[in-house]
Chain A
Amino acid sequence: MIGSLQSAGHGWAPLLRGLILWLGGLLLPYAGLAQGKYMTKAGHLSFFSSSIMEDIEARNDKIAAVFDLSGGQIAFAVPIREFQFKRTLMQEHFNENYMESDKFPRATFTGQILNAPQVLKQLAAGTQNVEVEGNMTIHGVTRKVVVSGTLQLRDSQLVIFAYFNIAPADYSIDVPLLVREHIAKSVSVRLNIACDPVSPALTQQP
């Protein structure tokens, strides 16, 4: 929120920012739910494509994610070239022919938790099932999606887990006729991200 205010760029922004911060400080004790930002650069994402001809699997351990708990917003970025395949040729084809990683080096998602106030209030009590609505951008194509998953506060970390399907055709990832039997119409994606809290001094109070 502080960041967005800066981008408003009014001359009196510094004053406003001071006020907001001051107000924010007042609000904190009343809010009664976990606040602040959680971040990581080492989230895990794997995908699995199963077809009659072969199974294809790849893993990526370099998912960057930010979670803004105060508003229930989440964003993550997936560096496409970091996907590791067991077969090196598959990895090359994935980057060169399907994902075109030179042109589209990252896949991203930004979303908002549905029913955020309720979910976040109960988060301290245990694992919460959540639905996140947002924009998924893969291969340069952005689509509105709703992803369901779980959210959990474990020790000081915020753990996000989700399991969902992606159809390559939805993102203009085109599979030639000759190998159509090898690649599933719907690829299952497993996301497992443990975010560390960002030092509160940076995000909440001066």
Chain B
Amino acid sequence: MHPLFSTLLKRGPLAALLLAVAAPVAHAQSDLLGQLEQGQQKDEPTQLVEATFKATRLINGHTVQTPGEGTMVFLISHRFGALNSGAYQFFGLDAATLRLGFEYALTDRLEIGVGRSSLDKTYDAFVKYKAIQQSVGSHSVPVTVTLLGSAALSTTRYSDRISRNALDRTAYSYQALIARKFSSDLSLQLMPSLVHRNMVLNEGEKNDIYALGVGGRYKLTRRFSLNAEYYYLFPGYTADNYRNSLGLGVDIETGGHIYQLHVTNSQGMIEKQFIGETTGNFFKGDIFFGFNVSRNFTIKQRQRK
């Protein structure tokens, strides 16, 4: 029996009556928890919103995600040939372009990466910095903003007689990736983008291309999501001669791997290529089936605080 109760009983019927009014032990327990939660809610700390997207890529372009400190990502990206290339080309599966990439997170916010695309034999390198992180709590922030800068050097041998030095072959891309995780299932992202080519050849073609991307994911299960990504080219030479990049796909997560399968009208997998050089008409069957496979390795384990 409750020690207080037994002592109280000895002290007479009034005390016993009073105790009977007091709720039983079970009630007292939940009450204890209530006190605990009250205390916690009062000084609820600001909580960062994590995992806006599963991978560092949405389809072709980057997401706001950076891997945690000390994590290296090995990324294999693949785009087959166009779906409408016919049975002879096995509907595109005979042809393929590839990008191999390594990325490493120096801190929880700063990531660097290198890659090599078979398209135009292009080497690329990027720096990605998560400047603002979405959070809830006393100091809530509505969006995550990640800044991306990348350089791409094409080393292909051009058949024209124009001489190009390394700088001429280089293009830079800048993106501000702005994303919000609306719920654990839905995340949307805006990508204002600028691509600067050091050398352009055609009459009327500008060095700079401005584009605005929109994209998002919707999780159907905990490890499976639908993704979409679209880059709108602002009016100009590029918009007149190339197409807006569109991609639709899925993310499948299995432990340390993320498989992304998609269809897109872009064959390139770096900003300069899919923003500025997309030629396929998605709705006429110029669709490239492709996938990204990313594997994370923990290089440096996080220090315990």
A→B interface (CB under 8 Å): 1, 3-5, 7-8, 10, 16, 19-20, 23, 26-27, 30-31, 33, 39, 41, 59, 64-66, 68, 70-71, 73-77, 79, 81, 84-89, 91-93, 95-97, 100, 102-103, 106, 108, 110-112, 116-117, 120, 134, 176, 178-179, 182
Contacts and interface: CB of A to CB of B under 8 A. Distances in A.
Interface stretch (B29-37, B74-82, B156-164, B277-285): B29-37
A178 B254 contact: yes
Interface of B: 1-4, 6-8, 11, 15, 18, 21-23, 25, 27-37, 39-40, 47, 50-51, 67-71, 108, 183-184, 222-223, 253-256, 296, 298, 301-302, 304-305
B302 A96 contact: no
A1 B302 CA distance: 45
A86 B305 CA distance: 11
A8 B39 contact: no
Contacts of B22: 1, 4-5, 8, 20
A33 B11 contact: no
A92 B183 CA distance: 16
A84 B30 contact: no
Contacts of B34: 3
Contact of A88 (B21, B32, B68, B255): B68
Nearest to B298: A87
A65 B68 contact: no
A59 B303 CA distance: 12
Given A5-B23, A39-B39, A88-B302, 4 more contacts: A71-B4, A73-B25, A75-B29, A77-B33
A44 to B, nearest CB: 12
Contacts of B2: 71, 116-117
A64 B39 CA distance: 9
A103 B184 contact: yes
B18 A20 contact: yes
Contact of A85 (B36, B51, B253, B302): B302
